[in-house]
A = this chain, B = another copy of it.
């Protein structure tokens, strides 16, 4: 009994000492990021020197080289590229939208949705039919829809706490062109996926149903534009709309995801992956989506190097290509991963912006979650929860790998997402740095203690 008590005391003292050690090191990690890190200057460079970098574009090629250089500068032991083929959609030179009430034109802010076909060379002009759901569209049917433009006026459900959940519920309408085409519509216009009420149209990927006979052009309209259009339709049910876009899909292009790693000192064949995506939409500068995730991930490498943390396992940073319209970089990487002589044990994705850290999401059942929840006290000084959550689009194809996500505050994310306003100036330096610190700290714990084992 006495031995047992002594053993318990020893174990408890040991746990306490370890937690104390971890607590001190995590504080060092945060201090490094807040005082010395390159996250912010790297993001400025990615946004301003490279700019928007849609898959297949010239800027995407520049971005690949940029990421390679940034990882070398961060101190990666090796940096290499993982090839993939990517789609090459281009917006073209001109987009236009006018609403007509009694033949009086009024400009509204729209953009073509990624993957859309162009309009005919003279554009399309037709009556606008406003619907708030697919069910409503179906009820109207061919009789009311044929030859007209369908306007999906669907707002985010603001009662969700995480705006990503509201996005998840509404985003199907971005691919509403197929359903509209089924009933003979000549174009579709979808209210932008946003919580904000401003005049930026939000692009994003749309897909055509493979069964439809006739593709129609698909646009997003700004929140203010949708409000205005709806009020015009309320005044005059016969309001018309003119739409023009010369966007196009060109042949696929070869591209690359960029990988930089620090070799493990004890178990180098176990890989802990941390990544964001390098490509962005062609509007804005891809600052929050996902320049932030890229610089977060690169700065994890830098923190380990600068703080001289001897990682047991291999820490691998990836800037994935083509998350926005295909996730073909993630798919290609997952294939390569099965072929190499290493085992991925964990993967964390940062693709929710550069805002203040709120949580690390763990894709796991309750019993597994408890393992990681033990670390929560270490994160409380930084106001960070460890919660049930998801992984990410790019890492989703990795099989049998513990998946994690970095969850920054979501309230402003869809103010900027996929717009001309997703620029460097809308990222706060400290918030960005705190994100990189949170991710680095979690990766440190995973490296030290490993993932959950049953």
- Which residues of A are interface residues toward B (Cβ below 8 A)? 30-31, 34-35, 158-159, 161, 163, 195, 356, 358-359, 380-383, 385, 387, 409, 411-412, 415, 428, 430-431, 434
Among B383, B385, B411, the residue within 8 A (CB) of A380 is B385
Q: For A415, what are the chain B residues with a Cβ–Cβ distance below 8 Å?
A: 428
A161 close to B30 (CB less than 8 A): yes
Complex CA–CA separation, A267 to B41 (angstroms) = 57
CB of A403 to closest CB in B, whole Å = 20
A430 close to B195 (CB less than 8 A): yes
Q: For A158, what are the chain B residues with a Cβ–Cβ distance below 8 Å?
A: 34-35, 430
CB of A421 to closest CB in B, whole Å = 14
B387 close to A411 (CB less than 8 A): no
Complex CA–CA separation, A409 to B383 (angstroms) = 9
Complex CA–CA separation, A428 to B35 (angstroms) = 28
A381 close to B161 (CB less than 8 A): yes
CB of A443 to closest CB in B, whole Å = 19
Q: For A385, what are the chain B residues with a Cβ–Cβ distance below 8 Å?
A: 380, 383, 385
Complex CA–CA separation, A161 to B411 (angstroms) = 20
B431 close to A411 (CB less than 8 A): yes
Complex CA–CA separation, A412 to B409 (angstroms) = 13
12 contacts between A and B (CB under 8 A): A34-B158, A35-B159, A158-B430, A161-B382, A161-B383, A161-B434, A163-B430, A383-B385, A411-B431, A411-B434, A412-B431, A415-B428
With contact pairs A428-B411, A434-B411 given, residues A34 and B383 touching in the complex (Cβ less than 8 Å)? no
CB of A425 to closest CB in B, whole Å = 11
B159 close to A356 (CB less than 8 A): no
With contact pairs A35-B159, A158-B35, A159-B35 given, residues A383 and B412 touching in the complex (Cβ less than 8 Å)? no
With contact pairs A35-B159, A430-B195 given, residues A356 and B356 touching in the complex (Cβ less than 8 Å)? yes
Q: For A161, what are the chain B residues with a Cβ–Cβ distance below 8 Å?
A: 30, 381-383, 434
Q: For A159, what are the chain B residues with a Cβ–Cβ distance below 8 Å?
A: 30-31, 34-35
Complex CA–CA separation, A195 to B428 (angstroms) = 10
Further 11 A-B residue pairs, CB within 8 A, beyond A34-B159, A356-B411: A30-B159, A31-B159, A34-B158, A161-B381, A356-B409, A358-B383, A359-B383, A380-B385, A380-B387, A411-B430, A415-B428
Top 4 nearest A-B pairs (CB, nearest first) are A358-B383, A411-B430, A31-B159, A356-B409
Q: For A380, what are the chain B residues with a Cβ–Cβ distance below 8 Å?
A: 385, 387
Give the residue name and chain of the B residue nearest to A356 (CB): B409
Q: For A30, what are the chain B residues with a Cβ–Cβ distance below 8 Å?
A: 159, 161
Complex CA–CA separation, A161 to B380 (angstroms) = 11
Complex CA–CA separation, A380 to B35 (angstroms) = 30
CB of A430 to closest CB in B, whole Å = 5
Among B383, B387, B412, B428, the residue within 8 A (CB) of A428 is B412
Complex CA–CA separation, A430 to B195 (angstroms) = 9
Q: For A34, what are the chain B residues with a Cβ–Cβ distance below 8 Å?
A: 158-159
Complex CA–CA separation, A381 to B162 (angstroms) = 9
Complex CA–CA separation, A42 to B395 (angstroms) = 44
Complex CA–CA separation, A415 to B304 (angstroms) = 31
Complex CA–CA separation, A359 to B382 (angstroms) = 11
Among B35, B381, B387, B409, the residue within 8 A (CB) of A409 is B409
Q: For A381, what are the chain B residues with a Cβ–Cβ distance below 8 Å?
A: 161
CB of A30 to closest CB in B, whole Å = 7
CB of A83 to closest CB in B, whole Å = 39
Q: For A359, what are the chain B residues with a Cβ–Cβ distance below 8 Å?
A: 383
Give the residue name and chain of the B residue nearest to A437 (CB): B161
Complex CA–CA separation, A382 to B410 (angstroms) = 11
Give the residue name and chain of the B residue nearest to A412 (CB): B428
